[in-house]
Amino acid sequence: MKKQQSSTLKWVTNIGMAIVCLTALFPVLMLLLSSFRPSSELMRTGISLKFDWSLLNLDNYIYIFSQAGEYWTWYMNSLIISAVTIVLSLFFSAMVGYALAVYDFKGKNLFFTFVVFILMVPFEILMLPLFQMMINFQLVNSYLGVILPMVVAPIAVFFFRQYALGLPVQLMDAARIDGATEYGIYFKIMLPLMAPSLGAMAILQGLGSWNNFLWPLIVLRSNDMFTLPIGLATLLTPYGNNYDVLIAGSVMTVIPIIILFIFFQRYFVAGLTVGGVKG
C-alpha cells in the first residue's frame, strides 16, 4: 500500500513539475515562433498562436546576419561587458568573501555589517551617487563606467563568505607549516575548493550583467556603445517598430546565457545548496 502511494505521489509530482516547466517555457516558445514570422504579420495579429503557419520563414534572421550591423555592435558590447564583469566580480568578490570568512581582523564584523546593509539598499538610491562618481572619473559612455560599480557585488561577497565558512581550515594550517604564503594557500588550495560557488555565481552574475538595462542606460550615450537591452529598446519608437530585428534579435540574446549555464551547470546546484547552509 505504501509502495503504491509512493508511486502515485511520484507521478503526481512529475506531472506537476512538467506543467510548471511547460508554463515557464511557453513565453520562450512564443518568442521563438514569432521570430520566424514576417513583421507585417506580427503587426497585424501580434504575438499569438493564431497566425498563418505557412508564412514562417528565415527572413528575419537573414536580415540580422546580412543588414543589421548595429545589432552585432550591441551584441559585442554586451559580450565584452558581461565577460569582464563576470571575471572581475568572481575574482574580487571571492577574495573579499574568503577573507571575511577565514581571517580575524579589526573591524571584520563592522565590514560585514556594511555588506549586509548595502544588500538592503535599492540600487535606485545608489544610482545618482554612482553616476556622479563616473562623471568625476570621466568614465561616462565607456565600458569601465558600466563595469566598475558591479565589480564587487554585495550579494556575491555574502555568498562567497557563506561558502568559505565551510572550508576546512586544517588545510590552511598544514599549508602554512609547509611554508606556503597566504596568497599561495588561497589560489592553489582554497580557491579550487570554492569551484562550485564560483560556477553558481558566474551564472547569476552573468545573467544579471547580460540583462542589465537601467545602469548602462544611464552611463552610455552613443549608439555604438549601447548594450543589447538598450539597443533593442531603441527599435520601439513612436515613428515605427523594427520587429524584424527586435524579435529575432531577442531570440539570439538567449544563446550566451544558455551556453553559460551549460558550461557551469554541474556547479550550479552544488554551489547554491552548500553556500546556502553554511555559516
Does any domain span residue 160? yes
Residue 45: Cβ within 10 Å count: 14
| Residues 26-42 pLDDT 10s | 888 888 888 888 877 77
Tell me what pLDDT residue 278 has. Answer: 45
Task: Examine residue 25 and state whether it is found in any structural domain, yes or no.
Answer: no
Q: In angstroms, rounded to a whole number, what is the distance separating the alpha carbons of residues 177 and 200?
A: 32
Instruction: Answer for the pair 141, 227: CB distance below 8 angstroms, yes or no.
Output: no
Whether residue 17 lies inside any domain: the answer is no
Say if residues 174 and 108 touch (Cβ distance below 8 Å): no
Q: Per-residue pLDDT tens for 164-214?
A: 988 888 888 888 888 888 889 999 889 888 888 898 889 889 999 999 999
Domain-embedded: residue 49: no
CATH number at residue 238: 1.10.3720.10
Residue 57 has pLDDT above 70, yes or no: yes
Is residue 200 situated within a structural domain?
A: yes
Q: Would you mind telling me the total number of residues written for the chain in this entry?
A: 279
For residue range 220-256, list pLDDT tens digits in order.
Answer: 999 899 999 999 888 877 666 677 778 888 888 988 8
- Residue 60: per-residue pLDDT: 85
CA dihedral for 36, 42, 46, 49, sign (positive or negative): negative
What is the value of pTM for the model shown?
0.85
Whole-angstrom Cα Rg for the chain: 23
Residue 130 buriedness (CB in 10 A; 0-12 / 13-18 / 19+): middle
Query: Which among 146, 148, 156, 44 has a CA at the least distance from the CA of 98?
Result: 156
Indicate the number of domains in the chain.
1
Helices (H), 103-194: 108-119, 123-136, 143-147, 154-164, 169-177, 182-184, 191-193
* Short-list 230, 225, 262, CA closest to 249: 230
How many other β-carbons are positioned within 10 Å of the β-carbon of residue 147? 21
**Distance set, CA 169 to CA 127, 166, 173 (Å):** 39, 9, 7
Q: Is the pLDDT of residue 44 over 80?
A: no
Name beta bridge partners: 240. Answer: 237
- The whole-chain average pLDDT of the chain stands at 85
| Domain, as residue range, for 258 | 67-277
* SS3 labels along 81-118: HHHHHHHHHHHHHHHHHHHHHHCCCCCHHHHHHHHHHH
In a domain, 211, yes or no: yes
Would 196 be classed as within a structural domain? Answer: yes
pLDDT value of residue 76: 94
pLDDT the model gives residue 275: 44
**Residue 31 forms part of a structural domain:** no
| Sign of the alpha-carbon torsion through 143, 148, 149, 155 | positive
Q: What is the DSSP string of 66-83?
A: HT-HHHHHHHHHHHHHHH
Q: Is the dihedral of CA 205, 211, 215, 219 positive or negative?
A: positive
User: Is residue 279 scored above 50 in pLDDT?
Assistant: no
User: Within 10 Å of residue 112's Cβ, how many Cβ atoms?
Assistant: 17
Residue 182 corresponds to which cell in the numbers above?
597566504
